[in-house]
Amino acid sequence: MSTSVSTAGKSPSKKMTIGTLAVMNIVAVVSLRGLPAEAEYGLSSIFYYVFAALVFLVPVSLVAAELATGWPEKGGVFRWVGEAFGPRLAFVAMFMLWTEVTVWFPTALTFAAVSLAFVGPDQQWDQALSANKEFVLAIVLGIYWLATFIAFKGVATFARVAKWGGIIGTIIPAIILIVLGFAYLFSGQTPQISLSAATAIPDFSNFSNIVLAASIFLFYAGMEMNAIHVQEIDNPTRNYPIAIILAAVGTVLIFVLGTLAIAFVVPQSSISLTQGLLMAYNDMFHWAGLDWLGPVIAIALAVGVLAGVVTWVAGPSTGLLSVAKAGYLPQWWQRTNKNGMATHILLVQASIVTLLAILFVVLPSVQAAYQILSQLTVILYLIMYLLMFAAAIRLRYSQPNRKRPYRIPGGNAGMWILAGAGFLGSLLAFVFSFIPPDQISVGSPQTYVGILVVMAAFFVACPFVIYAVKKDSWRSTESDFAPFTWQQTAQAAAKPAAPSTPSAS
């Protein structure tokens, strides 16, 4: 979620370098837990990664840069969509972001639970434990409520948890995964996938094979988080796109090489959406004679996920609190504790996570529940992105003279091409997200689609209902949310003209 950061008073010597901004974006986006889903595609996964980068990653990054610099006031995506389409759809976009993160927690923590299951000495027993629904449910709920308690303590407390989590739980494991996977290949071992050039082209005749790959769009979600820093880089018109290209290339390389490393070692028939990454590490460590590293990497991966969850428990809730105080949610939702944390929003979020996590017990397998929640996350997040891309195009016409420190080149045509590609790519992934995948058992396909449709419709309807019943009394006297530009214009036009003062003769 983008947040406004004032850069007033910063000296030129503190300007951010291209490399720094590129690394920040890579760290914000890269996660390893989804790689097994794409490893099933072998070499053809490269196509999906590159395609998603071109029609989603780059458009998100550059469109968010223009929006963040043109409208730097508090609000992020709520501000951007509200400037273009008004507060109703702005509230929908903000609600989708908060809800998407809430739905994401059970899937992220499932990965952490599976990681913790692999710290034992017996891999066969570890695999059985990681597939145990009661174990997964207990870990998800226990860790999430602990993270919520930590969030209540304020930013200083959970910031310390997150500081090293990304390095320990993502960067180092990614390097180990790629190095060992390609060492396995170059040592003469037989890869588990075909390396024929023909296999690099996806099988478009089997439409269902594309469905699981739709989730790759969410791999790249989050690049908009650092768009606000475009004002902190010298010559943003030239240097920001360079930083974004470097970040995009680095992100794609990590995803492609990490996915191929898994595909080299783990047979396609053995790839599990929840266990695949740990199985790949264990197979690599056994081949390299480093079996003792299995439990270590399992703990490291769990630390990375848990650190991220602790951070995100508070982040979007803080954004929703700002919107609530602006008058879009009742006073009850605006309650904060002495640390300034949104206690009631956090409790509601934790309750929703608890209900969603129970799906792991109801559905036929952990993987089925994991896939449904993952796809629901994609659907909700993509709704927000559809609104963001549409808002960027509309604002080029409704506020053409607005100062934009970074502007997508090519005039309005350039915006149509870039934001249009992002919109169509998001729409494509949105449609595919409702189609049951063939790769895993999700029970009845009708039940799978029905659950997704009902849950998505429910979460989309919520902000419309809330907005329809909102009252002026909901606005907090403590709110510092600035009026939208069109509101300021209307207020200025409504003011009576000042009486003219006769000139002295």
Kindly tell me the sign of the dihedral angle through the C-alpha atoms of 303, 305, 308, 310: negative
Write the pLDDT tens digit of every residue in 413-422.
Answer: 999 999 999 9
What pLDDT digit, counting tens, does each position of 82-101 carry?
999 999 999 999 999 888 88
Contacts of 457 (CB under 8 A, 6+ apart): none
Most confident of 121-130, 350-359, 406-415, 493-502: 406-415
**Beta bridge partner(s), residue 342:** 336
pLDDT band at 5 (very low <50, low <70, confident <90, very high): very low
More confident residue, 14 or 178: 178
The mean pLDDT value for 140-152 works out to 85
Residue 233, both tokens? 């880089």
Give pLDDT, residue 423: 95
The pLDDT, as a whole number, for residue 273 is 60
The fold for domain 18-470 equals Amino acid/polyamine transporter I (1.20.1740)
- Supply the DSSP string of 61-123, one letter for each residue: HHHHHHHHHH--STTTHHHHHHHHH-HHHHHHHHHHHHHHHHHHHHHHHHHHHHHHHTTSS-H
CA-closest candidate to residue 381, choices 102, 100, 81, 57:
100
Given this model, what pLDDT does residue 38 score? 81
- How many other CB atoms are found less than 10 A from the CB of residue 72? 18
Beta strands in 101-168 (DSSP E): none
Residue type, 437: P
pLDDT of residue 8: 37
Cα–Cα distance for residue pair 101/233, rounded to 1 Å: 29
**Token pair in block for residue 186:** 């170059």
pLDDT at 54: 87
Residues 86 and 92: their CA atoms lie apart, in Å, by 11
Confidence of residue 155 (pLDDT cuts 50, 70, 90): low
What average pLDDT does the structure give for the chain?
81
Q: Is the pLDDT confidence value at 20 over 70?
A: yes
Is residue 443 pLDDT above 90, yes or no?
no
Which residues does 497 contact at the CB level (< 8 Å), separation at least 6?
A: none
Distance of alpha carbon 222 from alpha carbon 209, whole angstroms: 25
Lowest mean pLDDT among 116-125, 207-216, 373-382, 427-436: 207-216
Mean pLDDT of 26-45: 80
The stretch 222-236 carries a mean pLDDT of 72
Number of C-beta neighbours around residue 92 at 10 A: 24
What average pLDDT score do residues 460-470 get? 95
Over range 358-380, report the average pLDDT: 74
- Stated as kind and residue range, the H or E segment containing 320 is helix 293-323
Query: Range with the lowest mean pLDDT among 10-14, 156-160, 493-497?
Result: 10-14
**If you average pLDDT over residues 419-442, what whole number do you get?**
81
Cβ atoms within 10 A of the Cβ of 77, count? Answer: 24
- Specify the length of the chain in residues: 505
DSSP string, 339-388: T--BHHHHHHHHHHHHHHHTHHHHSS-HHHHHHHHHHHHHHHHHHHHHHH
**pLDDT at residue number 92:** 96
Q: Is the pLDDT of residue 233 over 90?
A: no
- Please, what sign has the CA dihedral across residues 27, 28, 33, 39? negative
The answer for residues whose C-beta is within 8 angstroms of residue 220's C-beta and 6 or more apart is 29, 52, 53, 56, 57, 60, 251
Does 441 have pLDDT greater than 50? yes
Give the pLDDT confidence score for residue 411 in this predicted structure. 94
Least confident of 57-66, 267-276, 388-397: 267-276
Task: Give the type of residue at 486.
Answer: W
Domain boundaries, the chain: 18-470
- Looking at residue 460, its pLDDT comes to 95
Name the nearest CA neighbour of 436 among 461, 424, 453.
453
Single-letter code of the amino acid located at 42: G
Q: Pick the residue with more confidence: 31 or 393?
A: 393
Share of the chain above pLDDT 90, in %: 27
Query: In the 8-state DSSP scheme, what is residue 10?
Result: -
